[in-house]
Structure 1
Amino acid sequence: MVIFRVDASTRIGSGHVMRCLTLAEGLRDAGAEVVFITRPHEGHLNSLIQNKDFKLYQLSSGRHDYRVDATRAEYAGWLGTTQEADAAETIEILKGALPEWLIVDHYALDERWEQLVRPYAKKLMVIDDLADRRHDCDLLLDQNYVSGGQPRYTDLVPPSCTTLLGPQFALLRKEFAKARERLKPRDGSVQRIFLFFGGVDPDNMTGKAIEVLSAPEFSHLHADVVIGATNPHRNSIAYAVKRRPRTRLHVQVENIAELMSQADLALCAGGSTTWERCCLGLPSLVVTIAENQVAFTRDLHENGFLRWGGMAESVGIESELLSLLKDAMIRVERNRQESTQGKVLVDGYGSERVSDFLLRGPDPDSLKVRKAGEADCKLFWYWANEPAVRQSAFNSEPILWEPHHDWFRRKLADADTRLYVIDSDMGPVGQVRFEKEDDGYLISYSIGRQYRGHSLGCRVLDISIKALKSEQPLSLIAEVKEENIASSRIFEKLGFTEYPGLRSGAKFYRLSLNN
């Protein structure tokens, strides 16, 4: 089971729910049971979620007398209650379910909420693009473009967290990849406009853009105007569309990929539809309608992927949009270049990549072994203190940082110890430790929480044993808690044989190898 915690409202917009729905549909198509937990703010999209046949749990409507975190006042007010109260309501739903993944997409939630709900889900994923607060999660997805690819989450997530960063993981519906396959190369000329400023568009940039398009010099252009069902300016927009020839209004559409494919140029906001336009090579004139859109839109503008006109509330934004549109009408080669670059940046398979990771994990054949170094100390510490690891250990007490740091440095310098990290294309998967004892090596290993359940144990140990074997002939010894049946099966599968040991409550296994 996969459970999403996400909201939509007139303040939040629709983008968070829409990208979660995209991922949810991919997960369901792959066989997962998917559930949503939402709060019914004004402008919510709960009916849309239910109409797509997802089970939905609705939290209370919230309260208005709670204290907002002053350090993040802009987003904290989006929740409608405190993080603690929201977590308590969410936990009541999670109890007994223990989902494989809990996925949260909410700017008002951070590590405080995540630490409270963690015991009620096997794995926790965060979808974010602000990089302005700490998270306690196993997986973080940020699909935004960052010029130069600077790491933004190094100090904001645990070292054991896997980060999926960049437009290659953009959550697009399958229709975009299919439309891309049928798409003919764009020649850069402009005859049809695609106009969309988000599902809510509180500043009515849609109406302002229609006014710009109504100038006589653009009267020959066809226009498809798209709005969400909760757009507060729907009536005035419908009237403006009716007055302008060659213009059609589309409300809460399902065929947005088709409309983008037919267009030659987009007038639009800088939200998640940016990646949809890039995937289909649609040149864009962008007005950002929220502060969180500015950074990546500016980077895309500076690197030639789109043209940015500024913020929606800027004085003279209509004049700026008019100027950009006039320029785009004659800059045929620029339009063509944007189209080509956008398609290189986003291929349309990001949602499939994320779904595959969540349900199947990394390709076992892609795993590689490397020797651990000083930089891995904190990573090993986080892995060692993960609750399931402590539960499987003979000494289940939490490990303090200073003793661990001293121990790790000693082990790195110890000629009779080998510390290995198992890497994948997505990041470190786990660790294997070999310690020489008499005529053999004692094995200890663990796999990161986000990589469990994918039958990686045998592969992790197999390639680690081969790495050690390449150094010298050896005999391996494994000591496993009697109740740790999964580890016992892995060692037996690898050819270890059980032998009598001295410790009660444990099973002992041995494997002799030669070069």
Structure 2
Amino acid sequence: MIYFRVDGNEQIATGHVMRCISIAQAIVENGEDCTFIISDDYPKKLIQSKGFPTLNINSKWNDLELEIERLIELIREKEIKKLIVDSYFVTKKYLKEIGRHVRIIYIDDLNLFTYPVDMIINYANYYPKFNYESLYNLKNIKLLLGCEYVPLRKEFSQLERENEINNPARTVLITTGGSDTYNIASRLLIEIIEQKKYENINFHVVSGVFNQHLSQLQMLEKTYNNIFLHYNVEKMSELMMKCDIAVSAGGTTLYELCACGVSTICFAIADNQINGVEDFGHNNIMIYAGDVSKNINIVIQNILKGIALLYQNDQLREIYSKRMTNLVDGCGASRIAYEILRF
């Protein structure tokens, strides 16, 4: 049995949980069961809907040191040998104390400090800036680095785009994270409607489980026949592959779009997304629209400019698509599972 320590809620959304689920599914395919340890019941329904049991240790998701004693008890009780930790709220003390009782695999994005763990996973496109090889050169720590380890669900592995690239574009995907705190989706759609330039485009909007502005999106869908709202999408790859252009917040969704080869306009809605979206823009993998927390209006205008640039330019969309699929092949979760099980 492999255990995960991860949380998800309205503040931190579902990205951490979803990538852990992808890894867990790959581990199960290799014959090992998985259980999720969570601080509260917020992510319980989502995790259990994917077939995984949960253990609620009734702790605080943003103060992990408070749970050290309880987690050590659980590690002893369940005889846990390997623990995959995915949280930005780990501390050196937390990892050291827990690491005395179990082998820790840590999923990192931020390189906050030198982690006292047994394995580090950072699949981000920007990982080279952290110089992991130098930091951990003399330490007996396994490093899984780069986009070959992006932990996507199996549906994203070895995809081939069957449809011809439409010109002009006919469908746009909009996905703004699990909670869409800034109400980007609704505000963007209203701007698009007011422009009256894209009445022939169908806009497919994915609403996350913690979306606080769902009622406004539902009203827009009811009012306009080219707006389609999607919840709890079971086969995200199919929806992505149907679209000519995507507008997406940072996070794992961008790597899913890479695997699907959908030309993307990306933006940041949280500090931990900035490195990723800026790197995608800098390397011309995607069009970068900016950081919502700095100026939401500029980001929306940049998104509109991006749509205008890609709308009637199938050759540019093809160039972006090839760069994206060359970066991510969708097999990262299987590679991670293999390394964890043999570790």
In structure 1, the residue matched to 2:45 is: 47
Question: Aligned pair in 2 of structure 1 residues 57, 274: CA closer, same or farther (>3 Å)?
Answer: same
What is the correspondence of 1:174-189 to structure 2 with a 5 Å cutoff? 174-177=154-157, 180-181=159-160, 183-184=162-163, 186=165, 189=168
Comparing 317-326 and 162-171, the one that deviates more: 317-326
In structure 1, the residue matched to 2:29 is: 29
Q: How far apart in 1 are the matches of 2:101 and 2:119?
A: 16
What is the correspondence of 1:234-245 to structure 2 with a 5 Å cutoff? 234-245=214-225
In structure 2, the residue matched to 1:76 is: none
In structure 2, the residue matched to 1:280 is: 260
Counterpart amino acid of residue 95 in structure 1: R
Comparing 283-292 and 184-193, the one that deviates more: 184-193
5+ long unaligned stretches in structure 2? none
What is the correspondence of 1:239-318 to structure 2 with a 5 Å cutoff? 239-313=219-293, 314-316=295-297, 317-318=299-300
In structure 2, the residue matched to 1:207 is: 186
CA deviations on 1:142-188 (whole Å, 9 max, x unpaired) are 111028x345333368721111111110011111125x136446466
Residue 88 (structure 2) aligned to one of 101, 107, 122:
107
Question: Aligned pair in 2 of structure 1 residues 84, 132: CA closer, same or farther (>3 Å)?
Answer: closer
Q: How far apart in 2 are the matches of 1:143 and 1:358?
A: 15
Q: Percent identity?
A: 26
Q: Is the 8 A contact 1:225 1:247 kept in 2?
A: yes
Q: How far apart in 1 are the matches of 2:91 and 2:138?
A: 13
Question: Aligned pair in 2 of structure 1 residues 326, 40: CA closer, same or farther (>3 Å)?
Answer: same
Q: Secondary structure at the match of 2:77?
A: coil
Question: Aligned pair in 2 of structure 1 residues 318, 120: CA closer, same or farther (>3 Å)?
Answer: same
CA deviations on 1:454-473 (whole Å, 9 max, x unpaired) are xxxxxxxxxxxxxxxxxxxx
Q: Is the 8 A contact 1:137 1:157 kept in 2?
A: no
Residue 131 (structure 1) aligned to one of 97, 111, 116:
111
Residue 59 (structure 1) aligned to one of 49, 57, 60:
57
Asked if residue 140 in structure 1 is aligned to residue 138 in structure 2, the reply is: no
Counterpart amino acid of residue 16 in structure 1: H
Asked if residue 91 in structure 1 is aligned to residue 72 in structure 2, the reply is: yes
Q: Is the 8 A contact 2:161 2:241 kept in 1?
A: no
Q: Secondary structure at the match of 1:217?
A: coil
Q: How far apart in 1 are the matches of 2:117 and 2:235?
A: 34
CA deviations on 1:70-118 (whole Å, 9 max, x unpaired) are xxxxxxxxx343x332222212221132333200000000332111112
CA deviations on 1:334-354 (whole Å, 9 max, x unpaired) are 211110010000011111111
Q: Is the 8 A contact 1:135 1:156 kept in 2?
A: no
In structure 2, the residue matched to 1:351 is: 333
Q: So what's the TM-score if we normalise by structure 2?
A: 0.93
Q: How far apart in 1 are the matches of 2:45 and 2:104?
A: 26
Q: Is the 8 A contact 1:189 1:264 kept in 2?
A: no
Bigger CA radius of gyration: 1
Q: Is the 8 A contact 2:13 2:210 kept in 1?
A: no
Q: Secondary structure at the match of 1:47?
A: helix
Asked if residue 320 in structure 1 is aligned to residue 299 in structure 2, the reply is: no
5+ long unaligned stretches in structure 1? 63-78, 362-449, 451-515
Counterpart amino acid of residue 351 in structure 1: A
In structure 1, the residue matched to 2:204 is: 224
Q: Is the 8 A contact 2:161 2:261 kept in 1?
A: no
In structure 1, the residue matched to 2:20 is: 20
How many residues end up aligned between the 2 structures?
339
Q: How far apart in 1 are the matches of 2:152 and 2:307?
A: 27
Question: Aligned pair in 2 of structure 1 residues 80, 346: CA closer, same or farther (>3 Å)?
Answer: closer
Q: Secondary structure at the match of 2:169?
A: coil
Question: Aligned pair in 2 of structure 1 residues 315, 172: CA closer, same or farther (>3 Å)?
Answer: closer
Q: Is the 8 A contact 2:62 2:89 kept in 1?
A: no
What is the correspondence of 1:456-495 to structure 2 with a 5 Å cutoff? none
**Deviation (angstroms), 1:24:** 0.6
In structure 2, the residue matched to 1:116 is: 97
Q: So what's the TM-score if we normalise by structure 1?
A: 0.63
Asked if residue 198 in structure 1 is aligned to residue 177 in structure 2, the reply is: yes
**Deviation (angstroms), 1:318:** 2.2
Question: Aligned pair in 2 of structure 1 residues 37, 298: CA closer, same or farther (>3 Å)?
Answer: same
Q: How far apart in 1 are the matches of 2:138 and 2:337?
A: 22
